[in-house]
Amino acid sequence: MKFPNLLRAFGLAALGTLAVGLATAQDAMPRPAAQPAPAPAAEPAPVPPPPEPVGEAWILVDAASGKVLAGENIDEPLPPASITKVMTSYVIAAEMAAGKISPDDQVRMSENAWRKGGASTDGSYSGFEVNQSAPLVEMEKGMVVQSGNDAAIALAEHVAGSEQAFAALMNQYAQRLGLTNTHFANATGLPDEGHVSTARDLAMLGIALARDYPEAYSYNAIKEFTVGSITQPNRNVLLWRDSSVDGIKTGHTSAAGYCLLASAKRGDQRLVSVVLGSTSERQRADDSQALLNWGFRFFETHGLYEPGTAVATQRVWKGQADEISLGVESPVLVTVPRGRYEQLQPMMDVPSVLVAPFEQGQQVGTVRVMLDDEVLAERPLVALEPVERAGFFKRIWHEILMWWESL
């Protein structure tokens, strides 16, 4: 036998001996007890239909993502009654933040405010005495907690000179907030021609007040307020029923029916509900509570991408840098049925060839978050840093490489 053949034969024999030895050793080793196969993960139960409030319109919204979880007639213009005062609070807080007014300002209860909204009227009132003054923050609490029409008018006169001028301010702020189907004619919500809003707009307004001016928003959780010898409770009975509820505002007129803009926070999740045109105080509270409970039970909100954090890194041609980091300019949050977070499908739409230069903040592509066939969120992908154009020789070299890769 020739030497190479002998070597090959020897190697095969050695491998065979090694295999037999390993098999024998494995047979001699104690074997672990058989483990049951893991049970397949249970599919999340489908979300049942939402409660259906009694009323002309209603909505439930996740505050962080803006996702409408359920609703009916959400864009129908209707009289908002005293929910109007949430916009009055927003304007006051915004004007205060701009340095135009102060919480220590002395606000006078004018005869006009007293006659139009005081105790002699059929509406709710705060009890501040006519022709007397009180600190702005106290007058505001009288408006928010007691739903005082007199306090709302006095505050409007203090901020803008007249209630009519203040209503113009309200509409300016409503436009900035994107309340496209809302128009205010007064600061109180008392019946007035053309004074309307929608369930969607009022939910957006409540979310904006909690987000932009949390101190002003906190007044809505006060359960009672005293002016002189008069103590009145907050008309939002959910404050007593549910510790997670911290606002926001009730309303009632013969034209508007019974209305409630409610908000609750459980953990990190805040939901906002609106019920318009209900039949009684109890009905609006019961329906609002049912909506909030349903939303918290069956939905959860997740933050996916933060501004300034790279979502993707892409190759760049003809640049001083060879890569570019892409991200988003605002947080990307999605609200999904509980238990379905793992099924989210992020998708990026970015050109296959990126050629410098790029400016910081320049849109380069788009990121979408899908669940089944629904787009839950869509945001521009922007350059997180600039990429300057490369020098002449690198550009020529990259031109050659791009041509070669295209073959």
Q: Nearest 5°: CA angle at 124, between 118 and 128?
A: 45
Q: Kind and range of the H or E element at 362?
A: none
Is 110 an active-site residue? no
Interior angle at CA 40, CA 35 and CA 45, nearest 5: 150
| Chain centroid to CA 196 | 23
Task: Kindly name the residue from 82, 126, 197, 273 that is annotated as catalytic.
Answer: 82
- Distant-in-sequence, close-in-space partners of 128: CB < 8 Å, separation ≥ 6: 109, 134, 139, 142, 148, 150, 151, 154, 227, 228
Exactly one of 85, 141, 249, 318 is catalytic; name it.
Answer: 85
Interatomic CA distance for residues 316 and 298, integer angstroms: 44
DSSP 8-class letter at 9: H
What are the structure tokens assigned to 29, written together?
């080793």
The answer to whether residues 356 and 389 touch, using CB atoms and an 8 Å cutoff, is: yes
Single-letter residue type at 292: L
Give residue 192's identity as a one-letter amino acid code. D
Q: Using the CB atoms, write b or e for 357-368: b if 16+ within 10 Å.
A: ebeeeeebbebe
318 flagged as catalytic: no
Question: Using an 8 Å Cβ cutoff, are 30 and 237 in contact?
Answer: no
From 65, 147, 197, 273, the catalytic residue: 147
Query: DSSP assignment of 200-249, as one string?
Result: HHHHHHHHHHHHH-HHHHHGGG--EEEETTEEEE-S-THHHH-TTEEEEE
- Please, what is the end-to-end C-alpha distance for the chain in angstroms? 54
Token pair of 127, please? 């009890």
Residues annotated as catalytic are: 82, 85, 147
